[in-house]
Amino acid sequence: MFLCVVRNTALVGIQTISSAKMPSSVKQEPPSEKNPGGSSVPELRVFVRKKRVKKTLEVIAKEVKEESSGRNLVGLPDIEDFAYSKDITRSQSTHAKTLRLTGEKSLSQSTQTEIKGFSLSDPLQPPSNWEKVLEGIRKMRSAEDAPVDSMGCEKAGSFLPAKERRFAGTDSVILFVLIEDLLPTGAIQRLLQNGLLAADAIDSANEETIKSLIYPVGFYTRKASNLKKVAKICLSKYDGDIPSSLEELLLLPGIGPKMAHLVMNVAWENVQGICVDTHVHRISNRLGWVSRPGTKQKTRTPEETRESLQLWLPKEEWVPINPLLVGFGQTICTPLRPRCAICAVSDLCPSAFKEAASPSSTPKK
DNA sequence: GTCCGGGAGT
DNA sequence: ACTCCAGGAC
């Protein structure tokens, strides 16, 4: 419920200080269910920043309400109903964390005193023309076949026999959780041939064996080791299955925000957030779709991008945006020398033709 | 910010 | 021959 960013509800940015730790009393419960009941619990977001004026939550609530009137925001909860929860993030390099206020829980006294010093920022507006841009990218993507289309982990199911295809089952998920890029290398087929697609098999297998089977997947040593650890955890805590909540996934070694959201999206079909990888991060910034909270600066980490993107991108797009932009990033909007000349949305892109296009003309200083 | 361990691109 | 890649741990 916390995690459900409901469109067309209030979305107000507030900036504040508070560095801190959320008391466990308001710790959010695992998002076990998608949308129990009504999905229209009004939700606000608060950006936590350094410094700022001292204000109580009540003051903020009042400001939010005032700010919201005449700003096309709807459905604000009453202040006494406010609760907050820490957003799911592991971003360490960002000073800003997103908090959410909902009408579901009440705020404890200690919590209230802990959060002080808020100021309002503008409600977030979706970037202009984002729908056109998205449509343009879709067109380009349908024409060109990017690697992600045949080897993306969303497609992992088609590689596997029926049993292993059950994403929510006990088998293959663990693998592509950890070794997403094992598909193009044929690693998953090799593991399959060796009966190593289940937690118990992996747990009892030799780490060196796994290592050699998944080679030449990137970071194979670490991945083999993580795979063993995860298999053990899954066996002991999840009956050989994988955890079904974002928080629990993040506790697994080798699982960070990108993979955790990917797994929630494709394995559990329970969308908690956008899976932001380097492509989504880069392209979102080039398009001017994201920014550091309260600024126009580029986001510095994928986590910041995810938070920024989630503030305005309609939830229906949260899952498809990843393969869409990944493919676009592999074929056209490449990290180095983006092919703006053949890009259908270059006229809508603030970064078009702004990066070096020729190998010989990259003088380094 | 650095490291990991190779592959791919220039 | 050299640079860059990519997600996560630290």
Residues A264 and A172 grouped into a single domain: yes
Domain extent at residue A258: 162-268
A54 is catalytic: no
Residue with smallest Cα–C1' gap to C6: A278
> Would you state the torsion angle of the CA atoms of residues A272, A277, A281, A282, taken in this order, to the nearest 10 degrees?
-160
Residue A49 belongs to a domain? no
Q: Is residue A205 part of a domain?
A: yes
Which nucleotide has the least CA–C1' distance to A215? B6
Q: What are the distances in angstroms from CA A202 to CA A174, A175, A240, A244, A267?
A: 10, 10, 10, 20, 19
Beta bridge partners of A99: A46, A86
A92 CB neighbours strand C below 7 A: yes
A303 and A245 together in one domain: no
pTM of the model as a whole = 0.68
- A257 and A189 within one domain: yes
Q: At what angle do helices A302-310 and A257-266 cross, to 10 degrees?
A: 50
What CATH number has the domain bearing residue A336? 1.10.1670.10
Cβ-proximal residues to A36 (8 Å cutoff; 6+ apart), any chain: A1
Q: Which nucleotides of B are covered by protein (CB under 7 A)?
A: 1, 4-7, 10
Residue A136 lies in a domain: no
Q: Are A134 and A88 in contact (CB under 8 A)?
A: no
A256 is a domain residue: yes
Report which of A4, A14, A68 is spatially closest to residue A34, judged by C-alpha positions. Answer: A4
Residue nearest to nucleotide B10 (CA to C1'): A359
Evaluate whether residue A108 is within a structural domain: no
Domain boundary among A268, A286, A307: A268
**Residue A180 resides in a domain:** yes
Has residue A185 been placed in a domain? yes
Chain A residues 297 to 326 with C-beta below 7 Å from nucleic strand C: 302
Number of domains into which chain A is organized: 2
User: Residue A348 CA to B6 C1' — how many Å?
Assistant: 38
Q: What are the pLDDT tens digits along chain A (365 aa)?
A: 122 222 222 222 332 222 232 333 333 334 334 334 333 333 444 433 323 334 445 555 555 555 544 443 333 333 333 333 333 333 322 222 333 443 333 333 333 333 333 333 344 679 999 999 999 999 998 886 776 666 555 555 555 543 344 333 334 455 555 555 555 667 777 877 887 777 888 899 999 998 998 887 888 899 889 888 988 998 899 888 888 899 999 999 989 999 899 888 877 889 999 999 999 999 999 999 999 988 899 999 999 999 999 999 999 999 999 989 998 998 999 999 999 999 999 999 999 999 865 444 444 33
Which CATH number covers residue A261? 1.10.340.30
Phi then psi dihedrals of residue A58, to 5 deg:
-60, -40
User: Of the candidates A268, A287, A309, which is a domain's last residue?
Assistant: A268
